[in-house]
Chain A
Amino acid sequence: MSAEVINLSQLQNDHGDFVERVRKMSGQDVRKCYQCGKCSAGCPVHNCEGMDVSPNRIMRMVQMGMEEDVLRTKTIWICVLCSTCTARCPRDIDIARVMDALRIMSFERKITEPAKTANIFHEMFMNNIKKYGRMYEFGFAVGYTMKTGYMLNLLDVGPATLLKGNLAFFPPHMKNSSQIREIAENVEKIERMEGEH
């Protein structure tokens, strides 16, 4: 049996454009990664078995141009962006920013399958603040639970939150509650114009 030989330089030539797009979006050159594994060793989510692919393997997949596979990992959505990896990387790569860039790419491609709950969470979060200007946590908790069953996790502790007056029943009150929606619309316009150039 012979081991499959991987020629990284060849792969980087063939799929270089993915590494390049990741670099543009994150400002990070993933080619610099030499696979020491330090990012994975200190990753708190990986250490609690929350990821399907370890952070250093994500970096390797980017180097190898495995766009389709990497954008379908649970890891990129489950990463908490704690930046422990970034703080420790001997090659000075901001791995957390790479993760965030991969998220944006997978979001743009509407790949929601590997981390459905994460997608629902972020989408509902954005909709909530676009509507109210500030987070309406009680409304969010109810809506999010209807979609994902989240509050069932907190049956032992949840109701206490409400009783202690930590969550307001009514939406937050502010003068211009559509600020965030307006900013988001402007951002869309700016990005559309850029895309046309």
Chain B
Amino acid sequence: MKYAYYPGCSLHSTAKGFDMSVKDVCKKLDIELWEVPDWACCGASSAHSFGHLLGLAVPAKTLVPAEKEGLDIVAPCAACWQRLVWVNHEVNSNPKMKEKINKAIGAELNGTSNVLSVMEAIAAAGEEKISQAVKKPLKGLKVAAYYGCYYVKPPKIAHVDDPERPHMIDDLMAAVGAEPVDWPYKTECCGASLNFVDFNTTLAMSKKVVDIAVKSGADIIVTACPICQMNLDMLQAKMNKKFGTNFNIPVCYFTQLMAVAMGSSPADVGMNKNYVPFESTLAKSG
């Protein structure tokens, strides 16, 4: 299978480990990724707050090369993914808006490339292919799969999975031998980019998520979103200081765990770039 690939800004900076692990897992599953040439930022989290058309036109250009190649497109960042999904939705349902978007980007976009989350692209490879690729099943590792908001809300636009009880990442974790825990905060918001605007509120929001994951018996939290990963991982030190907690739970991308289960070393997929150390947790499995 071949897809167009839109890494987005985060995967080239704070979320390099996501980029590395997505590429690694896709390679092992014979999924070919063709990076959109000279892609630009999708404009999240700001462009849409300056105007509806601006919020659509900025990400729209990314879809043009994919459409020309006749490829569906994979966008691993949750925020990028949702912005691209909005563009397709408007282009397909609102001819006036389509015309304006095309005028703004100086190109013809028809909304024919599906925009896929990385979970969908990987799951589409099929259970058999995935289980064949597993070399070191993550036996005994209790994983809290955290989906955040963008993939499942608002459900009319973003419907990778159920908005309250999604299971797609849980299933992929089970497929590589780990034990997904059932927990109630799978889609509770971590605060996202509010981190930059109201730090203390974000800290309180992220703390709730980490707290419930720990109380649900998880050894590790996995995400599919750069900003979720950053908030839940990087802020733990700060949470402990402010709330007197004792959190020390690793937070990584679900693709990083998949890559490790498929035989890659954690360093190969950037796990050493995460904050909370993961070594003793991974040592427990297998």
Select which of B13, B164, B235 is within 8 A of A135 by beta carbon.
B13
Give complex CA distance A104, B48 in Å. 8
User: A86 touches which one: B49, B154, B194, B238 (CB < 8 A)?
Assistant: B154
Report A-chain residues with C-beta under 8 Å of the C-beta of B188: 44, 84
Instruction: Choose among B51, B57, B153, B155 the residue that contacts A186 (Cβ–Cβ < 8 A).
Output: B57
Pairs A–B under 8 Å by Cβ, sample size 7: A94-B154, A100-B48, A100-B52, A117-B196, A144-B196, A157-B275, A187-B57
- In the complex, how many residue pairs between chain A and chain B have their CB atoms under 8 Å apart? 179
* B residues in contact with A153, CB < 8 Å: 199, 238
Q: How far is the CB of B197 from chain A (nearest CB, A)?
A: 5
Interface membership of A142, Cβ < 8 A: no
- Among residues of A, the one whose C-beta sits closest to the C-beta of B60 is A183
Bound together, the chains give a CA A184 to CA B241 distance in angstroms of: 42
Chain-B contact segment, one of A29-37, A57-65, A167-175:
A167-175
Q: In the bound complex, how far is the Cα of B192 from the Cα of A108, in angstroms?
A: 25
Are A103 and B238 neighbours in the complex by a CB distance under 8 Å?
no
**B106 proximal to A (CB < 8 A):** yes
Bound form: Cα–Cα A48–B38 in Å: 40
**Measured between C-beta atoms, what is the minimum distance from B241 to chain A in Å?**
7
Contact A135:B50 (CB < 8 A) given known A44-B205, A161-B234: no
Query: What distance in Å separates the Cβ of B156 from its nearest Cβ neighbour in chain A?
Result: 8
Query: Beyond A78-B201, A87-B163: 9 further Cβ-contacts under 8 Å?
Result: A77-B197, A84-B153, A121-B193, A129-B43, A157-B275, A165-B16, A172-B9, A179-B40, A186-B106
Q: What are the residues of chain A within 8 A of B275 when measuring CB–CB?
A: 157, 160
Q: How far is the CA of A48 from the CA of B204 in the complex (A)?
A: 6
Flag if B153 contacts A134 (CB, 8 Å).
no
Does B54 count as interface, using CB distance less than 8 angstroms?
Answer: yes
- Contact status B153-A104, CB under 8 Å: no
Q: Is the CB of B197 within 8 A of A118?
A: yes
Tell whether A196 is near chain B: CB-to-CB under 8 Å: no
Task: Report chain A residues within 8 Å CB of B282.
Answer: none
7 A-B pairs with least C-beta separation? A50-B201, A83-B153, A135-B9, A82-B149, A82-B189, A125-B46, A48-B204
Asked if residues B53 and A45 are in contact (CB atoms below 8 Å), the reply is no
A146 neighbours in B (Cβ, 8 Å): none
Within the complex, the shortest CB–CB distance from B130 to chain A, in Å, comes to 29
On whether the beta carbons of B201 and A190 are closer than 8 Å, the reply is no
B interface residues, tally (CB under 8 Å): 61
A179-B54 contact in complex given A80-B191, A82-B149, A190-B100, C-beta closer than 8 Å: no
With a cutoff of 8 Å between Cβ atoms, the chain B residues found around residue A150 in the complex are 196, 199
Chain A CB within 8 A of B58 CB: yes
B4 to chain A, nearest CB (A): 17
Q: Tell me whether A13 is interfacial, beta carbon within 8 Å.
A: no
Interface residues of B in 23-72 (CB under 8 A from A): 38-41, 43, 45-54, 57-58, 61
Identify which of B12, B52, B61, B241 contacts A25 (C-beta below 8 A).
Answer: B52
Return the chain B residue nearest A102 by Cβ: B49
Chain A residue contacts of B43, Cβ below 8 A: 126, 129, 180
Q: Could you say which residues of chain A place their CB within 8 Å of the CB of B39?
A: 134, 174
Docked Cα-Cα span, A87 to B10, in Å, equals 27
B237 contacts the other chain (CB 8 A): yes
Are B40 and A133 in touch, CB under 8 angstroms? yes
Q: Which residues of A contact B50 (CB under 8 A)?
A: 104, 107, 122, 126
Contact A117 B238 (CB under 8 A): no
Does B92 sit at the interface, judged by CB under 8 A? no
- The answer to whether the Cβ of A115 comes within 8 Å of any Cβ in the partner chain is yes
Kindly state whether residue A96 has any CB partner on chain B within 8 Å.
Answer: yes
The answer to whether the Cβ of B129 comes within 8 Å of any Cβ in the partner chain is: no
Given A78-B198, A82-B192, the answer on whether A125 and B45 have CB atoms closer than 8 Å is yes
How many Å from the CB of A13 to the closest CB on chain B? 28
- Does B2 sit at the interface, judged by CB under 8 A? no
Contact of B51 among A86, A97, A121, A191 (CB under 8 A): A191
Residues of A within 8 A of B12 (CB): 134, 168, 172
CB of B110 closer than 8 Å to a CB of A: no
Which partner residue on chain B sits nearest A185 by CB separation? B104
B212 sits at the interface (CB 8 A):
no
Q: Tell me the residues in window 196-238 of chain B with beta carbons closer than 8 Å to chain A beta carbons.
A: 196-199, 201, 204-205, 208, 234-235, 237-238
